[in-house]
Amino acid sequence: MHERGQEILQELLEGNERFRHGEGRAHVYSPDELRSIASVQRPIAAIVACSDSRIAPEIVFDQPLGAIFASRVPGNVASDSAKWMLEIALGEFQVPLVMVMGHTGCLAIGQLLDGDKGGAGGLHRFSVLSSVYRAKLRRPEDLYVAAVEENVLQTVEHLARDLYPLRKALLSQSTSIVGAVYEMETGNVRPIPTTVELYGVY
Ligand SMILES: [Zn+2]
């Protein structure tokens, strides 16, 4: 991970520590501050997270408005809108850190672990299903957590494979990408070892 990405990750993890110890900063905004925020934004990170009502990235990292560019979709998959979000975050704001954050107790994964009964989601549903199979191959002690981790790493892989601006930024080391798991029971965000297969810039 490049230096600036590491600094931002550290900043987010420190915010997470404040959050989970009940020491979050009160992010309260005056009308003047709102006007000032409306005129410019300088997000420090772009985060692909799940839609789950319990994991809002700004809250779990104790960040103010304007700090995080985000896309949230069930199972934090590499959706078209997540890719579009990253294209903007990298193109307009050169964010130094991209994070894919899964979480324990994810319903999108839990439902598929219980057996896929079909439904909405199309290819994204198959994508989550494939991470469940990847996790089973590892024969883990806790299949649910392993599937959450595999699903995060799979999204990283898909984003790097499909998104030219991301590959370009990773190759030029203007951004870094990291996977993480939010542990709902404790509020802790745990980064997971993330390697990216770059397919070259073309
Ligand atoms: Zn979820």
Following DSSP, what letter does each residue of the chain receive, concatenated? --HHHHHHHHHHHHHHHHHHTT--------HHHHHHHHH----SEEEEE---TT--HHHHTT--TTSEEEEE-GGG---HHHHHHHHHHHHHH--SEEEEEEETT-HHHHHHHT-----TTTHHHHHHHHHHHHHHHT--S-HHHHHHHHHHHHHHHHHHHH-HHHHHHHHTTS-EEEEEEEETTTTEEEEE----------
Q: Which fold has domain 3-22+32-192?
A: Beta-carbonic Anhydrase; Chain A (3.40.1050)
Lowest mean pLDDT: which of 76-90, 129-143, 175-189?
129-143
Residue 125 CA to ligand 1 center (angstroms) comes to 12
The pLDDT of residue 118: 76
Mean pLDDT of 97-125: 89
End-to-end CA distance of the chain: 23
Under a CB-based contact definition with an 8 Å cutoff, are residues 75 and 52 in contact? no
The pLDDT of residue 67: 97
Residue 31 CA to ligand 1 center (angstroms) comes to 34
**Which residue would you say has higher pLDDT here, 117 or 49?**
49
Residue 103 CA to ligand 1 center (angstroms) comes to 6
Residue 93 CA to ligand 1 center (angstroms) comes to 27
pLDDT tens-digit profile of 59-77? Answer: 999 999 999 999 999 999 9
Residue 139 CA to ligand 1 center (angstroms) comes to 22
pLDDT confidence bin for 133, thresholds 50/70/90 = very high
Residue 150 CA to ligand 1 center (angstroms) comes to 13
Mean pLDDT of 44-63: 97
Residue 75 CA to ligand 1 center (angstroms) comes to 5
Q: Which residues make Cβ contacts (< 8 Å) with residue 43, sequence separation at least 6?
A: 66, 67, 68, 69, 89, 93, 95
Residue 27 CA to ligand 1 center (angstroms) comes to 25
Residue 177 CA to ligand 1 center (angstroms) comes to 20
The pLDDT of residue 121: 81
The pLDDT of residue 144: 96
Residue 98 CA to ligand 1 center (angstroms) comes to 18
Q: Where along the chain do its domains lie?
A: 3-22+32-192
Residue 167 CA to ligand 1 center (angstroms) comes to 26
pLDDT, the chain, mean? 94
pLDDT confidence bin for 201, thresholds 50/70/90 = low
Residue 116 CA to ligand 1 center (angstroms) comes to 16
β-sheet bridge partners, residue 180: 101, 191
Residue 140 CA to ligand 1 center (angstroms) comes to 20
